Amino acid sequence: MKIILGSDHAGLGLKQMLATHVSDRFEIHDVGAFSRESCDYPRIARELTRLVLAEKALGILICGSGIGMSMAANRVKGIRAALCANEHMARMSRRHNGANVLCLGERIIGPDLARAITDAFLDADFDGGRHQRRIDLIDTL
């Protein structure tokens, strides 16, 4: 499976660390940022979400808090981005909500927790059933 990674300047360090962490299990496609020079996170979110949908991949977006990236990503039809602060949130976002994008805040969580959250997200599968019905309802909003 392919994982699409993206960050703004505030999430660059965590993105690079997570790319290394998951590269032995997944093909990685990095959409930027590639430096600490200030950039606009909605542009990164737009490119990542486009690829997640086109390639039926999973995505990870990182900014300072994770809030901006999650807000931008969730504007895109077909994207279910989950801002997660612990492993349970990450696991359940996939199992019950069919999340296809994980959002993290580099200034909020440390590297060990980020790795654990990422693993929980990537290792979980969508449960379907009643949860699909609820996603279908969300899609009608």
Residue 97 marked in a binding site: yes
Residue 29 marked in a binding site: no
Task: Output the six-digit token pair for 83.
Answer: 């801002």
Residue 110 marked in a binding site: no
Residue matched to tokens 């290394």 = 20
Residue 134 marked in a binding site: yes
Residue 131 marked in a binding site: no
Residue 64 marked in a binding site: yes
Side-by-side strand order, sheet with 27-30: 27-30, 2-7, 58-63, 101-105, 81-83
> Could you confirm whether 21 is annotated as catalytic?
no
Q: Which residue among 63, 84, 88, 103 is the active-site one?
A: 63
Q: Which residue among 29, 96, 103, 131 is the active-site one?
A: 96
Residue 11 makes CB contacts below 8 A (sequence gap 6+) with: 33, 61, 62, 63, 64, 69, 104, 105, 106
Residue 65 marked in a binding site: yes
> Could you confirm whether 96 is annotated as catalytic?
yes
- Are 108 and 84 in contact by the 8 Å Cβ rule? The answer is no
Q: Which residues are annotated as a binding site?
A: 8-9, 64-68, 97, 107, 130, 134
Active site residues: 63, 96
Q: Which residues are annotated as a binding site for D-ribulose 5-phosphate?
A: 8-9, 64-68, 97, 107, 130, 134
